[in-house]
Structure 1
Amino acid sequence: MLTSFNEAQARRALDLAREALDVEGEAIRKLSARLDRDDSVPRAVALMMACKGRIVVSGMGKSGHIGRKIAATLASTGTPALFLHPGEAAHGDLGMVTSQDVLIAISYSGESSELAIVIPAVKRMNVPVIAMTGKPESSLALAADVHLDVAVEKEACPLNLAPTASTTATLALGDALAVALLELRGFKSDDFARSHPGGALGRRLLTHVRDVMRSGDAVPKVKPDALLTDALLEISHKGMGMTAIVDDAGRPVGVFTDGDLRRLIEKIQDFSKLAIRDVMHPNPRRVHPEQLAVDAVAVMEEFRINQMLVTDADGVLVGALHIHDLTRAKVI
């Protein structure tokens, strides 16, 4: 911490930060309150729902930064979208836009000279235009098929100059459009995961038990009449800290873990003649290979266990899971 930053300055910094958040929060609340005054939001959503191409978002400066985020949010929630820089559009990038697209043009003043060049060109292509401005009488607002009013009473900037509350309101309304489209399109968590295959959420929603379980000879298992010593050898060889006990049909009837062994040693000194059926835990927890791996994690956490058995529709043992398998797969 800077030594020159005294306690009074720290208090003032905190007050200024709180004031900025209050101004921006109030801007969003007032934006929400006035949505019912016209049908602009439903009309905008209808245009975007009917779009057979992509939602093209464009804006200059801070509006451009907000536009990139809106385009990214739309794309990740089931509405194909891209960002078009209006300056580059006038020099060839307008070729990205097709007659099947919808344009969202963002400019708080509604008088961006770069967008003023783009709008007539896209209108000639019969591309619907949704404008997001703070000036309903601006050139952009009047040229648009739908105008979304993102006006704010003041910026969070003490000078009332830097785009702060206005960009926050614009971003919030962009998120609102994306959420409305997500719901109306029936976009589900699986769809979201497919858009995010490289992230933690994608792994959690796309990884099934079958993808991470151990199978075949890697699954430790013994028969109920096996000696405990034989079961311990199976546990040691397979390295899962447990073994399943299965009947003649291959269905698990019990499980025995390293923890069970430690507790058994405290009670019995000589267990060389014990059968595994006499010390196993009956009715072990199990999951199906088609279940999501996160379902297995939830069961493990609920019952504080590190291993689980995997059985098929007939109840036959087909695999086993260790908490480390889920960790390596980055499910947890």
Structure 2
Amino acid sequence: MIDIAKKVLQVEADAVLALVDRLDGAFTRAVEMILACQGRVVITGMGKSGLICQKVAATMASTGTPALFLHPAEGIHGDLGMLMKGDVVVAVSNSGETEEISRILPVIKRMGLPLIAMSGNSQSVLARAGDVFLDISVKEEACPLNLAPTASTTATLAMGDALAVALLVQRGFQEEDFALFHPGGALGKRLLLRVEDLMHGGEDIPMVEETTPLKEALFEITSKKLGITGVGDGNVGLVGVFTDGDLRRSMEGGLDHLDRPIAEVMSRHPKRILRTNLAAKALQKMEEHSITSLFVFESDTARTPVGIIHLHDLLKAGVV
């Protein structure tokens, strides 16, 4: 069984590598054709090729190239209404003679839509109809009967990915763009969520004045449930912070510290973050300074915090 599996992987790997030497001006024209497209990329294929087409359409759509899958059998029964002026069609058939594909070609031509043909047969009906022909032929299928689409579908998928990635690069598609189409994924959360989306504001900000006795400041820490309080000066703004870690260290000297002003035991120069910064930047800063909270400000020069963000907020949002 291991030998069979190795043979399958080798045949399919060879099929993909064979595509490398076939890339030429036709591939470049296909990319340019899609870049000039004013509509969508409509990808169509039947059977196993159709399944591959669905994946290629999904990859393009998620990387900045509007694309959809058209089932050719449904197409000849009304779904050709999906096509519109400005679209580019990518038709896939290993034989190039698939009946359902052949039957929709006249409509594509009648509408004047550019056609990119992907086939394993350069003399086929599909190949001759295409404005651009991409050769996806394979020497053999991985199936020992040389019947089940295996290496051919792998090669088709690889060529589709090559188109999608070439388009991605040409469009200057960035992580931020990718995140817009993946708001539910981890990357989307890292690149879309901002500090202001997760911070605690208003009355939820733990704050005491610097003259406040330590024992009173503890009530603020406990009631706001963030393990920290900011220390403010009415004239200057935030001048320090006091955390539950600071409390443990101060208690090492005895309970008499509880009546001292918090200004005597607080940590000065608290770390800060802007409300418009990405939540991922807040996480980076917390990790850099080994802290769990950051006070949030409107600008670099502002002294009064507009919020506070805790590591737990980032965890709950899936940023971590």
Q: TM-score, normalised by structure 1?
A: 0.90
Quick one: which of 62, 67, 72 aligns to 2:48? 62
Q: What is the CA distance between 1:300 and its match in structure 2?
A: 2.0
1 CA distance for matches of 2:287 and 2:185? 22
TM-fit CA distance, 1:278: 2.3
Matched, 1:163 2:123: no
Q: Does 1:281 align with 2:267?
A: yes
SS at match of 2:256: coil
Map 1:58-137; keep pairs closer than 5 Å. Answer: 58-137=44-123
| 2:14 is aligned with 1:26 | yes
Distance 1:226 1:97, change over 3 A: same
What are structure 1's unaligned runs of at least 5 residues? 1-11
**What residue is the counterpart of 1:239 in the other structure?**
225
Which has the larger displacement, 232-241 or 280-289?
280-289
Normalised by the length of structure 2, the TM-score is 0.93
Q: How far apart in 2 are the matches of 1:276 and 1:310?
A: 21
Aligned to 2:314: 326
Specify whether residues 220 and 271 from structure 1 end up closer, same or farther in structure 2 by C-alpha distance, changes over 3 A only.
Answer: same
Give the total of aligned pairs.
318
SS at match of 2:158: helix
C-alpha separation in 2, matches of 1:44 and 1:249? 65
- For 1:47, the equivalent position in structure 2 comes to 33
Cα 1:124–1:217, aligned 2, differ >3 Å: closer, same or farther? same
Q: Which moved more, 1:248-257 or 1:179-188?
A: 248-257
What secondary structure, in the 3-state scheme, does the structure 2 residue paired with 1:271 have? helix
- Which has the larger displacement, 207-216 or 131-140? 131-140
What residue identity is the alignment partner of 1:178?
Answer: A
Is the CA contact 2:16–2:158 (under 8 Å) kept in the aligned structure 1?
yes
Q: 1:26 to 1:225 in 2, by over 3 A?
A: farther
Q: Aligned partners of 1:22 and 1:281: how far apart in 2? A: 63
Which sections of structure 2, spanning at least 5 residues, go unmatched?
none
For residue 174 of structure 1, the aligned residue among 142, 148, 160 is 160
| Bigger Cα displacement from structure 2, 53-62 vs 145-154 | 145-154
Number of the residue aligned with 2:195: 209
Deviation at 1:18, TM superposition (A): 3.4
> Contact 2:46–2:71 at 8 Å: present in 1 too?
yes
Match of 1:272 in 2: 258
Q: Cα distance 1:262–1:225, how it changes in 2: closer, same or farther (>3 A)?
A: same
TM-aligned CA deviation for residue 98 of structure 1: 1.3
Give 1:286 deviation, angstroms.
Answer: 1.6
For the 8 Å contact 2:22–2:135, the answer to whether it is kept is no
Residue of structure 2 equivalent to 1:225 = 211
Answer whether contact 2:230 2:241 (CA < 8 A) is retained.
Answer: yes
Residue type of the alignment partner of 2:241:
V
Describe the superposition over 1:147-199 as per-residue Cα deviations: whole angstroms up to 9, x where unpaired.
11112222222333221222112112111211121222222222222222233
Q: Shift in Å at residue 310 of structure 1?
A: 0.9
Could you tell me which amino acid in structure 2 is paired with residue 330 of structure 1? G
| Structure 1 residues 49 and 259, CA gap change in structure 2 (3 angstroms) | same
250 and 91 in structure 1: CA distance in 2 versus 1, 3 angstrom threshold? farther
Separation in 2, partners of 1:235, 1:311: 20
Q: For residues 98 and 315 of structure 1, do their structure 2 counterparts lie closer, same or farther at Cα, with a shift above 3 Å needed? A: same
How far, CA to CA, are the matches of 1:179 and 1:111 in structure 2? Answer: 28
Question: Which amino acid is 2:53 matched to?
Answer: G
Q: 1:271 Cα deviation (Å)?
A: 0.9
Distance in 2 (CA, whole Å) between partners of 1:22 and 1:298 is: 43
State the distance in 2 between where 1:88 and 1:157 align: 29
| Aligned CA distance change for structure 1 residues 264 and 162 (closer, same or farther; 3 Å) | farther
The percentage of counterpart residues that share the same residue type is: 52
Once structures 1 and 2 are overlaid, which stretch shifts more, 132-141 or 295-304?
A: 295-304
- Helix, strand or coil for the counterpart of 1:210? helix
- Aligned to 2:240, the other structure's residue is in SS state strand
Query: Aligned Cα RMSD in Å?
Result: 1.7
**Residue in 2 that maps onto 1:6:** none
Q: CA deviation at 1:249?
A: 4.1
